[in-house]
Amino acid sequence: MRFCFGPVPSRRLGRSLGVDILPRKTCNLNCIYCELGPTKTYTCGRAEYTSVSEICREINEVIAGGADFDALTITASGEPTLHASLGEILACARALTDRPLTVLTNGTLFVDPAVRRDVAPADVVLPSLDAALARSFRRVNRPALCVDFEGIVFGLESLRKEFTGRIWLETLLVKGVNDTEEDLTALRKAYARIRPDAVHLNTVARPPAVSWARPLIGRELEEARAFLQQGLDVPIEIVVDTKRRLAEGFHPLLEREILDMLLRRPMRRDEIADLFGCGGDAVARVITGLLAQGRVREEPFEGKTYYRAAEDI
Ligand code: SF4
């Protein structure tokens, strides 16, 4: 499969059938916590980066093959709203499934009415907003020069007015970077303007693009959540890994599928075992083989060992 992957257990979406619609790491940001590594194609230009007909054909094939999923998620190894035919891709997916359609996005392009129109067929849009102060935005998200910082909150506000589905806004806090009281106060004001259905608070949980991006510990996250929630009627919750187990036997344990997943994001052995519904010993055998062949590498983070596909390095 070139575009579809999973279903993967998602903290927020259950079993999510992912559709990755862009060439690897095409983005208008270069976030310090990005688990995909540094941005390769740094652009704000919307274009036909991949073929809509090929994407639709593949979604159709996966669904016709009996894939069992809770949500179909349009995502990218980068920023999916950069695809000029996002609307067409969503319309195609809508025609193929009645499961919820979701879009994971960095939320920077909704100032463009065409992007807001494109996501209209989705049931849930999950944009990010990590900083509402320009200085912190530059530090945590490292935007391309073409990104209109002032337009981001305005764009999300406009999306709220026009979009009939749900908006779950995500804020990822990096210790000492975008978690000061000033940052949180500005974020709270932005939430009040945007009025999402929920705010999901997150922190660095996988090997980041830069080694110095550190997570908040549980108590710090809870304090940030309580501070952000003051006087705000939008629910704010801390999102945590569900480690949801997929149906036994949905995925055969194949080296290629594990590699495919590790190409998209670094994972721990226990997460792989959880994802594929198989025992830790079987995963250990496959990973040992892949390490010996130089096709994956180990990456320590916060006292845990993650594995990343060598093609990703
Ligand atoms: S985290 Fe998302 S928005 Fe940030 S650089 Fe990576 S792909 Fe782009």
Tens digits of residue pLDDT in 21-58: 999 899 999 999 998 889 999 999 999 999 999 999 99
- Could you tell me what percent of the chain has a pLDDT over 90? 71
Least confident piece of the model among 65-69, 171-175, 253-257? 253-257
**Confidence tier at 311 by pLDDT (50, 70, 90):** low
Cβ of 27 below 6 Å from ligand 1: yes
> 173: burial class by Cβ within 10 Å (0-12, 13-18, 19+)?
buried
pLDDT grade for 265, boundaries at 50, 70 and 90: confident
Q: 76 CB under 6 A from ligand 1?
A: no
CA 97 to ligand 1 center in whole angstroms: 27
Question: Has residue 269 got a pLDDT over 50?
Answer: yes
Ligand 1, closest atom to CA 141?
Answer: 4
Cα(13) to centroid(ligand 1), Å:
19
Q: Which residues of 282-295 are buried (b: 16+ CB within 10 A; e: fewer)?
A: ebeebbeebeeeeb
Residue 29 Cβ inside 6 Å of ligand 1? The answer reads yes
CATH numbers and ranges of domains, the chain: 4-238 (3.20.20.70), 255-312 (1.10.10.10)
Closest-lying ligand 1 atom to the alpha carbon of residue 25: 7
Residue 107 has pLDDT above 90, yes or no: yes
Which pLDDT score, from 0 to 100, does residue 251 have? 35
Question: Residues 190-226: pLDDT tens digits?
Answer: 999 999 999 999 999 888 999 899 999 888 999 999 9
Give yes or no for residue 147 CB within 6 A of ligand 1.
no
Question: Which atom of ligand 1 is nearest the CA belonging to 30?
Answer: 5
Q: What is the pLDDT of residue 236?
A: 97
In terms of residues, how long is the chain?
313
Residue-level pLDDT at 255: 73
Q: How far apart are CA 92 and CA 49, in angstroms?
A: 17
Query: Which residue puts its alpha carbon closest to atom 7 of ligand 1?
Result: 78
Distance from Cα 110 to the centre of ligand 1, integer Å: 16
The mean per-residue pLDDT over the stretch 261-278 comes to 82
CA distance 263 to 2: 12
Atom of ligand 1 nearest to the CA of 108: 3
Res. 273 pLDDT band, cuts 50 70 90? confident
Residue 254 confidence (pLDDT): 60
Q: Which atom of ligand 1 is nearest to the CA of 39?
A: 5
* Whole-Å CA distances, 237 to 55, 71, 125, 129, 198: 33, 20, 17, 15, 8
